[in-house]
Amino acid sequence: MKVYKFGGASVKDAAGIRNLAKIVSKEKENLVVVVSAFGKTTNALEKVLKAWMEGDKSYKDHLDNIYSYHASIADELFPSGNSARGNIDNSFAKLREYLRSSKRSSFDFEYDQIVSYGEIWSTMIVAEYLRKSGINAAWVDIRKALLTDDRYRDANILWNESTSMIRAAFDFRKFPLYVTQGFIGSTAAGWSTTLGREGSDYTAAILANMLDAGSVTVWKDVPGVLNADPKWLNDARKMEEISYKEAVEMTFSGAKVIHPKTIKPLHNKNIPLHVRSFIDPDEPGTIVKADATLKKTMPVFIRKENQLLISILPRDFSFVMGDNLSRIFHTFIKHGIKVNLVEASAVAIDVCVDDERPKIESLLVDLETEYSALYNENTEMLTIRHYTPEAITRITSGREILLEQRMRSTVRFVVREGIASSLRSSQ
Interacting residues with ligand ASP (CB under 6 A): 7-8, 36-37, 42, 118, 182-183, 197-200
Rounded Cα distance, 137 and 123, in Å: 11
Least separation in angstroms between residue 6's CB and Mg ion is 10
For ligand ADP, the nearest residue by Cβ is 7
Rounded Cα distance, 168 and 164, in Å: 6
E strand residue ranges, 268-409: 273-277, 286-289, 300-314, 339-344, 349-354, 371-385, 401-406
294 binds ligand ADP (CB under 6 A): no
225 binds ligand ADP (CB under 6 A): yes
8 binds ligand ADP (CB under 6 A): yes
| Burial tier of 354 (Cβ tally within 10 Å: 0-12, 13-18, 19+) | middle
State which residue, 131 or 385, has the beta carbon closest to ligand ADP. 385
Chosen from Mg ion, ligand ASP, ligand ADP, none, partner binding at 226 (C-beta under 5 to 8 Å by type): ligand ADP
For Mg ion, the nearest residue by Cβ is 198
By C-alpha distance, which of 13, 16, 14, 422 is closest to 219? Answer: 16
Q: Is residue 225 a contact partner of residue 238, using CB atoms and an 8 Å limit?
A: yes
State which residue, 39 or 272, has the beta carbon closest to Mg ion. 39
Rounded Cα distance, 221 and 275, in Å: 10
By C-alpha distance, which of 396, 398, 400 is closest to 382? Answer: 396
Near ligand ADP by CB under 6 A, which window of 60-68, 165-173, 250-258, 329-337?
250-258
Least separation in angstroms between residue 334's CB and Mg ion is 28
Selected binder of ligand ADP within 85, 220, 385, 399 (CB under 6 A): 220
Number of residues lying near ligand ADP (CB under 6 A): 18
Helix (H) or strand (E) holding 107: helix 107-115
Chosen from ligand ADP, ligand ASP, Mg ion, none, partner binding at 222 (C-beta under 5 to 8 Å by type): ligand ADP
State which residue, 70 or 259, has the beta carbon closest to Mg ion. 259
Side chain identity at residue 358, one-letter code: P
Give every CB contact of residue 398 below 8 A, 6+ residues apart in sequence. 420, 421, 422
State which residue, 111 or 413, has the beta carbon closest to ligand ASP. 111
17 binds ligand ADP (CB under 6 A): no
Query: Within 10 A of 350 (CB to CB), how many other CB atoms are there?
Result: 20
State which residue, 89 or 305, has the beta carbon closest to ligand ADP. 305
State which residue, 299 or 398, has the beta carbon closest to ligand ADP. 299
Determine what percent of the chain falls in helix, strand and coil, rounding each to the nearest 5.
Answer: 40, 25, 35
Rounded Cα distance, 179 and 174, in Å: 13
What values do phi and psi take at 188, rounded to 5?
A: -60, -30
Least separation in angstroms between residue 7's CB and Mg ion is 5
Rounded Cα distance, 272 and 288, in Å: 6
Chosen from Mg ion, ligand ADP, ligand ASP, none, partner binding at 42 (C-beta under 5 to 8 Å by type): ligand ASP
Least separation in angstroms between residue 288's CB and ligand ADP is 12
9 binds ligand ADP (CB under 6 A): yes
Helix (H) or strand (E) holding 415: strand 410-416
Chosen from Mg ion, ligand ADP, ligand ASP, none, partner binding at 208 (C-beta under 5 to 8 Å by type): none
Least separation in angstroms between residue 363's CB and ligand ADP is 27
Least separation in angstroms between residue 205's CB and ligand ASP is 12
| Residues of the shown chain interacting with ligand ADP in the complex, contacts defined by CB under 6 A | 7-10, 36, 198, 220-222, 225-226, 228-231, 255-257
